[in-house]
Amino acid sequence: MFDAMSMFNAIVVEQENGRSNASLKPVNEASLPAGDVHIRIEWSTLNYKDALAITGKGSIVRHFPMVPGIDLAGVVEHSEHPEWRVGDRVLLNGWGIGERHWGGLAQQARVNGDWLTRMPETLDCRQAMAIGTAGYTAMLSLLTLERHGLTPASGEVLVTGANGGVGSFAITLLAQRGYRVIAATGRPQEAAFLERLGAAEIIDRQSLSEPGKPLAKARWAAAIDSVGSHTLANVCAQIQPDGLVAACGLAQGMDFPASVAPFILRGVSLLGINSVTRPREERERAWARLARDIDAAVLDEISRDIGLSDAIEAADQLLAGQVRGRLVVDVNR
């Protein structure tokens, strides 16, 4: 019989007869996967990828059973890793958690200490998860664009998927740096929200989501795209000469039905953003900028708290496009 003190709550995705099923259930600590750092999780998030894992609508989970959750923040309770001590506040984004290794939608985790990032001193666990992979990916996108020469003087920057987590953060991070931001959304009723984040203009995503011309009128100096498919193809077709596109998502699809015309005739650069396996130095640089640039009031505007018990129902809402911004998960509620 398991000691009740060693039990913790987790969302567990299991497979039966080829179908995935997610449930909130008690799990014994002994079931945690191998790792050299044991973490007491305080907050997690519900991302698009997590929603796919929970609903079984995407090939996210690599083996079963799986605890989803590509983000976590908490406190080290035990460590055999030289970098981490008991009591350290840490966060984790990516590295396959929630896909190949049990993730953050639980009250405990055991992970590889090399995957962890030290929590910036000015952030608490809830704030870090309000930022989460979405804000971290948006910052990686911005840093990449700036490393390739983008400045506010370059011209307007388009953000697709503007109401999503990455899009919301991309808008506020760009606006904070002085860029004029154009937001593409399928929810015009959210225009006021996007303008409060810093969008200067709102356009209908339908103008980008259907098959378009290989090369169209040049409109923007750069773009951050979290949508993919026809949207990304149309974005590239409308970027100004020598412009930049950071591709960081595939909400519309993983295909890329495009032409080489923008890249050859206009010198457009398509920059892929891999947020999953970045080295620690790059992660710390991104999180230091996030801690400095993000206003706490903006986090409250972008995010909404839910309990661990609400996450399964919220996954369907997220996939249906009914969620604005970020869902932050209190794993102890």
Q: What is the DSSP letter of 210?
A: S
Q: Is 8 within the bounds of a domain?
A: yes
Query: By residue range, what is the domain housing residue 11?
Result: 4-119+297-330
**Do 71 and 202 share a domain, yes or no?**
no
Q: CA dihedral defined by 270, 271, 274, 279, rounded to 10 degrees?
A: 160
**Do 265 and 316 share a domain, yes or no?**
no
Q: What is the pLDDT of residues 147-193, one digit of tens each?
A: 999 999 999 999 999 988 899 999 999 999 999 999 999 988 989 99
Residue 70: the pLDDT is 96
Residue 321: the pLDDT is 81
**Do 140 and 228 share a domain, yes or no?**
yes
Amino acid residing at 244 = L
**Do 193 and 255 share a domain, yes or no?**
yes
Beta bridge partners of 271: 246
Helix (H, G, I), strand (E, B) or coil at 54: helix
For the chain, residues with pLDDT lower than 50 are: 1-4
Helix (H, G, I), strand (E, B) or coil at 314: helix
Q: Which of 204, 137, 250 is nearest to 145 (CA)?
A: 137
**Do 10 and 54 share a domain, yes or no?**
yes
- Written as six digits, the tokens of 101 are 């290794």
**Do 156 and 265 share a domain, yes or no?**
yes
**Do 181 and 240 share a domain, yes or no?**
yes
Residue 267: the pLDDT is 98
Whichever domain contains 193, its CATH number is 3.40.50.720
Residue 2: the pLDDT is 37
**Do 177 and 259 share a domain, yes or no?**
yes
**Do 254 and 182 share a domain, yes or no?**
yes
CA distances from 253 to 104, 133, 225, 226, 227 (A): 25, 19, 12, 10, 7
Asked if residues 12 and 22 have their Cβ atoms less than 8 Å apart, the reply is: yes
Ranges assigned E (strand) in the chain: 7-16, 19-28, 37-46, 71-79, 89-93, 108-111, 117-118, 157-159, 181-185, 199-204, 220-225, 239-247, 269-272, 303-307, 326-330
Residue 213: the pLDDT is 95
* Domains contained in the chain, number: 2
Asked if residues 55 and 99 have their Cβ atoms less than 8 Å apart, the reply is: no
Query: Half-sphere exposure of residue 101, counting CA atoms within 13 Å on the CB side?
Result: 19
Instruction: Say what the pTM is.
Output: 0.92
How far is it, in rounded angstroms, from Cα 109 to Cα 32?
7
Helix (H, G, I), strand (E, B) or coil at 236: helix
**What radius of gyration, in Å, describes the C-alpha atoms of the chain?**
20
Q: Which of 59, 148, 150 is nearest to 99 (CA)?
A: 59
Q: Is 75 within the bounds of a domain?
A: yes
Residue 165: the pLDDT is 87
Q: Classify burial at 147, counting beta carbons within 10 Å of its beta carbon; exposed 0-12, middle 13-18, buried 19 or more.
A: exposed
